[in-house]
Structures are given as structure tokens and as C-alpha cells.
């Protein structure tokens, strides 16, 4: 087999890639949280993440090119060391965890991120210090490596900073562009970039610029709140299924 041929995989993978691109382009990195849980419903979680990673790196090129001038590099400097440490710890975790454990992890993280979205009042949060920056950055790097969903923990630290929307999106784009490059190392060491995964990623690759450009176009034209509500509804449903599968 040269690439993944299951049609159900593409039914989940195509919208997952486009949604991730929309998040990269203009609606915030947290939107991509739904991608791996969706794809993990049809293939192994680590394989889903491995197929996505080269596509994310291509998205980063378009997103960073568009946003780098508006990024707050002082925030990136505070967050990057903890995020890299989180990437390394996640690589170790993936190397010793069976598929059922990964499904359970993804399901639980999905449900936790849904809880964060619906229950935490971001307007009442206050900017935190260096310890908080390291903690949320480490968790962001870990969850970004495990399921490409680092935007949730990163937003817990970044949103109370009250950055302008364009600056926030730009800072997220540059931060995770760097983190995704670092993530290539553990996935290479784990042997996940085999022929099947690489060719499947190449098949889906043309969707990367489509999603990013759509996100840039949507940034000033649609209600971000309603898009997030819809995505987190799908995240809730996939999180419940993956948790049940992991426990079973």
C-alpha cells in the first residue's frame, strides 16, 4: 500500500486539514484542536498526527509569511523554551504508550479543552508571571506534539495579556511555526514518516494553502464565536467517542 486508501479516512481528514488551515490563517491556533481527534476516528492517533505534521509545516510557511510583522516576539521568547521541553516530554510519552492509551489521552484532552472553552471566563483572567508562562508553554508543547492542539494551553496564558486580535493570531502563528519544526525530530525518531504516511500527507498537502487563505479571508468577515462553537461541538462528540474507545 502506497498511501491510506480508506475513504472514511478522507471524509475526516479533508475537513480536518481545511479547519486547521483556517485556524492558522486567521481564527487562532486553537481552532486546529479538532484535527487529530477527527482523523483518529479512522486511523491510529500517532499516524494521524504524523500525516498532519508535514502539512502543518507547509501551512506555517503561508501563515508566518502573512503574520510575522504583527507578532509579539517578547511573548514568543517567554513561551518557546517551555514549549520545546513539552515537545521532548511528549516524544518520550508517545514512544511508550499503546494506541488505546493514546485514544484515551486524546479523548480526555478533547473533553478538557471543551470544558476550558465553555467554563473558563477569559475576561476575568489576569496576566500571569514567568512560572505560569513555563507551565502553560510546556503543556502547550506537549499537547501540540501529541495531538497538534497546543493552542488551548497557549491561549490560557496569552489571552489575559489582552493582545490585539491581529497581534494574537500573528504571535500564535510564529510560535507554533517554530514548535512544529521542533516536532519533526521526535516523529522522525519514532519512525512515523514512512512511505505511506508521507505520500498520504502529500495527497492532502494542496489543502494547506486553501485553508490558510480561507482563514485570512474570514478573519475580518465572520463571527469567530460561532465558528468556535461549532468546532468545539464536533470536538466534544469526537472526544466522547475516543474516550469510550480508549477505555474499551
> Which residue in this structure is represented by grid cell 489571552?
159
pLDDT band, residue 113 (cuts 50/70/90): confident
Residues 131-157 have a mean pLDDT of 85
How many Å separate Cα 151 from the centre of its chain? 6
Whether 26 shows a pLDDT value over 70: the answer reads no
DSSP string, 19-31: HHHHIIIII-GGG
Angle value at C-alpha 58, between 57 and 62, nearest 5 degrees = 115
Whether 213 shows a pLDDT value over 90: the answer reads no
- pTM of the predicted structure, to 2 decimals: 0.82
Residues 10-38 have a mean pLDDT of 80
Q: Which of 121-130, 198-207, 226-235 has the lowest mean pLDDT?
A: 121-130
159-163: long-range pairs with CB below 8 Å, 24+: 159/122, 159/125, 160/122, 160/125, 160/126, 160/127, 160/128, 161/75, 161/127, 162/127, 163/72, 163/75
Residues 50-73 have a mean pLDDT of 90
Higher pLDDT, 218 or 145: 145
The closest alpha carbon to 157, from 144, 140, 143, 175, belongs to: 140
Higher pLDDT, 153 or 53: 53
Angle value at C-alpha 170, between 169 and 171, nearest 5 degrees = 95
Whether 178 shows a pLDDT value over 90: the answer reads yes
Amino acid at each position: 500500500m502506497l498511501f491510506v486508501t480508506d475513504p472514511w479516512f478522507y471524509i475526516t481528514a479533508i475537513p480536518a486539514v481545511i479547519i486547521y488551515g483556517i485556524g492558522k490563517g486567521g481564527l487562532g491556533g486553537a481552532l486546529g484542536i479538532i484535527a487529530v481527534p477527527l482523523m483518529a476516528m479512522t486511523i491510529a492517533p500517532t499516524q494521524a498526527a504524523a500525516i498532519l505534521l508535514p502539512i502543518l509545516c507547509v501551512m506555517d510557511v503561508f501563515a508566518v509569511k502573512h503574520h510575522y510583522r504583527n507578532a509579539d516576539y517578547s511573548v514568543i521568547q517567554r513561551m518557546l523554551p517551555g514549549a520545546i521541553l513539552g515537545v521532548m516530554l511528549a516524544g518520550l510519552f508517545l514512544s511508550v504508550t499503546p494506541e488505546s492509551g493514546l485514544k484515551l489521552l486524546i479523548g480526555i484532552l478533547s473533553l478538557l479543552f471543551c470544558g476550558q472553552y465553555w467554563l473558563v471566563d477569559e475576561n476575568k483572567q489576569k496576566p500571569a508571571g514567568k512560572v505560569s508562562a513555563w507551565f502553560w508553554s510546556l503543556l502547550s508543547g506537549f499537547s501540540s506534539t501529541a495531538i497538534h492542539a497546543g493552542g488551548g494551553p497557549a491561549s490560557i496564558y496569552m489571552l489575559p495579556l489582552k493582545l490585539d486580535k491581529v497581534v494574537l493570531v500573528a504571535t500564535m502563528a510564529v510560535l507554533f511555526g517554530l514548535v512544529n519544526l521542533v516536532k519533526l525530530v521526535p516523529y522522525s525518531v519514532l519512525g512515523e514518516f514512512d512511505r505511506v504516511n508521507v505520500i498520504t500527507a502529500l495527497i492532502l498537502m494542496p489543502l494547506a494553502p486553501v485553508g490558510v487563505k480561507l482563514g485570512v479571508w474570514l478573519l475580518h468577515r465572520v463571527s469567530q464565536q460561532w465558528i468556535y462553537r461549532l468546532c468545539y461541538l464536533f470536538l466534544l462528540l469526537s472526544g466522547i467517542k475516543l474516550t469510550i474507545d480508549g477505555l474499551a
